[in-house]
A and B are shown apart, each in its own frame.
Chain A
Amino acid sequence: MSKSSSFVTSLKTISVLLIICIVCGALLALCNDLFYIDEETKFNRAMQKVYPEFERDTSVSETPLAEFKDLAGAGSVSKVYRSKDGAYILEATGVGGYPDGSGTVTMYVVVGGETPNVEIKSVLITGNTKQSWIANITQKNIDKAYVGKNIKDVASLQMGNDYKWGGATMASTAIMNAIKSAVNYCVTALKLVSTPESEARDAAVALLEGYTLTTVVDDAYTTAVGANFYFTGTKDGADDVDVYVFGDKESGHQIVALKAGLTHADRMLDTAIVAKSEGIDNALVQSAQGLSHIESQIRALAPSFTYDVAGDLSQYATHSDFADTQITSAYVCNDGTLAIVAESTVGVFEDYTPGKLTMMVVIANGKISGFKVISYGGHSYFDGSIGNKNPQLYVGSAIDAIEYVKVSGATGSGVAYYNIIALSAYYARSISA
């Protein structure tokens, strides 16, 4: 083989390969542009697999708000896409119950509908870690369990046999947790529906301005105390507060905020304890049941709780003018309304021993605004002669001008009644001085 011929062969070989590669390269480059799909279309297609009517609305941010994206112990939301028709697609991850906290399921949850009929439209699992049994869960299982349910109901779901399939307990738990995280975001950040928790939280947030509240789930303490929800809150990174919410929106929330960790408190001043709800200065305060309920709850949290403004109760709890009458407890709301519980054993009349009359008197804006009988003792005439009178005796009088009015037919009760009201007025005048 002469050198030139071997060079020619080499050249021929290389040029054939070169030509093939160039032709193929050109063809591919052309076809790439011919069949090109831009990112937007690809994204919409991917989303349309979950929700066929999806059209990306880029006017809102797709990063979830940091304070709402995590559902403690359950999972978190990583992306929120809004569709032009108002539906949302959330990408959520849920944990499955492995002891070290690993084992997750990631999915798309589509939420849509008009408030309050906001429901889960579809669920599509996109990935998982460590969930080796997840193949046993079919799309049908998931759809039957979650699709079409109002997110309010989903938020309060608990794990049960209806939500466990194919022996894949961890995966089923992770799925529920992911869905609950997504729903939680819809409720708290997007405010699509209000759940009891979101209402409680809104009330607490309205009360404690500037505090960031986090829900604590399944706190055994909460159950023991009887609160519906328990939040912890911080303000500017400091001043941790424990917030307990009792009651509900219809009957009124009762919110008790405690400085974190404080269980034995002798005094809790207005920055530490605030007890208020929309109804407390009206119906609930006047319902001694309601207020004593609050008091018992506060005491459950802080056993030696007493409330004192300027002095202690002993100073103004009794008065020589009002015999056998004393104030047992007093509360102030943060609008200044006073709720005073007092009892009187006055009224013995001709061997007639009526027993103890216990009442709660509400004083607001310097006037007696209402009262409620907690227990009659033996004052059987009270209801007829005094209680049913309209307008009620002394209600509306200014606290510095309570005049005794004799009640015919129930003199003893009338005196007891007057004593309680007048003593309460005296207390109110004294502490504000």
Chain B
Amino acid sequence: MKLKRFKEIALDGVVRQNPTFKLVLGTCPTLGLTTAAISCLGMGAAVTFVLICSNVIISLLRNIIPDKVRIPSFIVIIATFVTLTRMVMEAYLPDLYSSLGIFLPLIVVNCIILGRAESFASHNPVGESALDGLFMGLGFTVAITLMGIVREFLGNASFMGIELWDKNVFSIGFFSTSAGAFLTYGLFIAGFTAIQNAIERKAQAKALKA
């Protein structure tokens, strides 16, 4: 594959079409899990794994699956990988498994995975689909981990589970609530869009000057 295409997919996944801050997909784990940054990392890893695997399989089968049963086929494939992930996690990482709780099975209906399957993997070759899965997953992981760090720091006075100071002395409990989740999410999206726009405008200005 050409380097240009690789860069395009990579940048799309992590920055330009970041699933959390730009496409606003997969908000369920974003709002629910970001109270602790460690579980964000674990969730991100699980989602990335499932994304890559399902993208690959769906891309391989893209010409075989008839249109009418597209959706059930995708869901079965995604569900299989999620179940596999759950089994492995339960066996080898029981702490992470219990901290993710209900959000692990919810990966099946995570919009990011089904969305990328539908819009990318079913029209593109295997290599590109795999890369797209990888970078979308990375984008998601980075996004929710950042949110998790902020929310955990402000709401729980800790960093990655390490208590920094007694949270009853100083912490803004609001950020550990759902309302705080929405607020943080909104602020992050605003900030991300502002930075993106600024970069674009700068690039445009540069192009105009030339």
CB distance from B12 to the nearest CB of A (A): 28
CB distance from B28 to the nearest CB of A (A): 21
Indicate which residue in A24, A32, A167 contacts B76 across the interface (CB closer than 8 Å): A24
B80-A13 in contact (CB<8A): no
CB distance from B153 to the nearest CB of A (A): 15
Contact partners of B88 in chain A: CB under 8 A: 35
State A125–B192 Cα separation when bound (angstroms): 39
Quick one: which of B64, B69, B173 has the most chain A CB within 10 A? B69
Quick one: which of A34, A35, A165, A167 has the most chain B CB within 10 A? A35
A16-B167 in contact (CB<8A): no
B66-A9 in contact (CB<8A): yes
B168-A166 in contact (CB<8A): yes
Contact partners of A31 in chain B: CB under 8 A: 83-84, 87
Contact partners of B80 in chain A: CB under 8 A: 24, 27-28
Q: Is B91 on the interface with A (CB-CB < 8 A)? A: yes
Mark the stretch among A61-69, A132-140, A205-213 that contacts chain B: A132-140
Contact partners of B87 in chain A: CB under 8 A: 31-32, 34-35
State A167–B68 Cα separation when bound (angstroms): 58
State A24–B68 Cα separation when bound (angstroms): 19
Q: Is A37 on the interface with B (CB-CB < 8 A)? A: yes
Of residues 113 to 168 in A, which have CB atoms within 8 Å of B's CB atoms? Answer: 135-136, 138, 140, 165-167
A17-B90 in contact (CB<8A): no
Interface range on chain B (Cβ under 8 Å from partner): 20 to 34
Indicate which residue in B68, B163, B173 contacts A13 across the interface (CB closer than 8 Å): B68
Indicate which residue in B61, B83, B95, B168 contacts A28 across the interface (CB closer than 8 Å): B83
Q: Is A20 on the interface with B (CB-CB < 8 A)? A: yes
Indicate which residue in B61, B69, B163, B176 contacts A140 across the interface (CB closer than 8 Å): B163
Indicate which residue in B73, B95, B168, B176 contacts A16 across the interface (CB closer than 8 Å): B73
Q: Is A431 on the interface with B (CB-CB < 8 A)? A: no
Contact partners of A9 in chain B: CB under 8 A: 66
Q: Is B194 on the interface with A (CB-CB < 8 A)? A: no
State A14–B66 Cα separation when bound (angstroms): 9
A35-B90 in contact (CB<8A): yes
**Total number of residue pairs linking A and B with CB closer than 8 Å:** 58
Q: Is A429 on the interface with B (CB-CB < 8 A)? A: no
State A16–B73 Cα separation when bound (angstroms): 9
A165-B168 in contact (CB<8A): yes
Contact partners of A12 in chain B: CB under 8 A: 66
State A87–B39 Cα separation when bound (angstroms): 32
Question: Are A21 and B66 CB-contacts (below 8 A) given A28-B84, A140-B163?
Answer: no
B177 nearest in chain A by CB position: A135
Question: Are A37 and B77 CB-contacts (below 8 A) given A13-B68, A165-B168?
Answer: no
A interface majority secondary structure: helix
B167-A138 in contact (CB<8A): yes
Number of interface residues of A (CB under 8 A): 25
B80 nearest in chain A by CB position: A24
B90-A21 in contact (CB<8A): no
Over the window 29-69 of chain B, the binary record of Cβ atoms lying under 8 Å from chain A Cβ atoms (1 yes, 0 no) is 00000000000000000000000000000000100111011
Indicate which residue in B73, B79, B173 contacts A17 across the interface (CB closer than 8 Å): B73
Q: Is B72 on the interface with A (CB-CB < 8 A)? A: yes
A16-B163 in contact (CB<8A): no
Q: Is A45 on the interface with B (CB-CB < 8 A)? A: yes
Question: Are A138 and B166 CB-contacts (below 8 A) given A16-B66, A17-B72, A20-B73?
Answer: yes
CB distance from B113 to the nearest CB of A (A): 15
CB distance from A37 to the nearest CB of B (A): 6
A37-B91 in contact (CB<8A): yes
A9 nearest in chain B by CB position: B66
Of residues 1 to 35 in A, which have CB atoms within 8 Å of B's CB atoms? Answer: 9, 12-14, 16-17, 20-21, 24, 27-28, 31-32, 34-35
State A49–B96 Cα separation when bound (angstroms): 13
Of residues 154 to 207 in B, which have CB atoms within 8 Å of A's CB atoms? Answer: 163, 166-168, 173, 176
Of residues 155 to 191 in A, which have CB atoms within 8 Å of B's CB atoms? Answer: 165-167
A32 nearest in chain B by CB position: B87
State A167–B84 Cα separation when bound (angstroms): 43
Contact partners of A135 in chain B: CB under 8 A: 173, 176
B77-A24 in contact (CB<8A): yes
Contact partners of A138 in chain B: CB under 8 A: 163, 166-168
State A32–B84 Cα separation when bound (angstroms): 8
Contact partners of A35 in chain B: CB under 8 A: 87-88, 90-91
State A166–B72 Cα separation when bound (angstroms): 49
State A70–B33 Cα separation when bound (angstroms): 38
Over the window 81-93 of chain B, the binary record of Cβ atoms lying under 8 Å from chain A Cβ atoms (1 yes, 0 no) is 0011001101100
A16-B65 in contact (CB<8A): yes
A13-B66 in contact (CB<8A): yes
Can you name 12 A-B pairs with beta carbons within 8 Å?
A12-B66, A13-B66, A16-B73, A20-B61, A24-B76, A31-B84, A31-B87, A45-B94, A135-B176, A138-B168, A140-B163, A140-B166
Which 10 A-B pairs give the minimum distances between C-beta atoms? A24-B80, A35-B87, A166-B168, A35-B91, A17-B69, A13-B66, A20-B73, A13-B69, A24-B76, A13-B68
Sample of 11 more A-B contacts, CB < 8 Å, known A13-B69, A28-B84, A34-B87: A13-B66, A16-B73, A17-B73, A20-B73, A35-B90, A37-B90, A136-B168, A138-B167, A138-B168, A140-B163, A167-B168
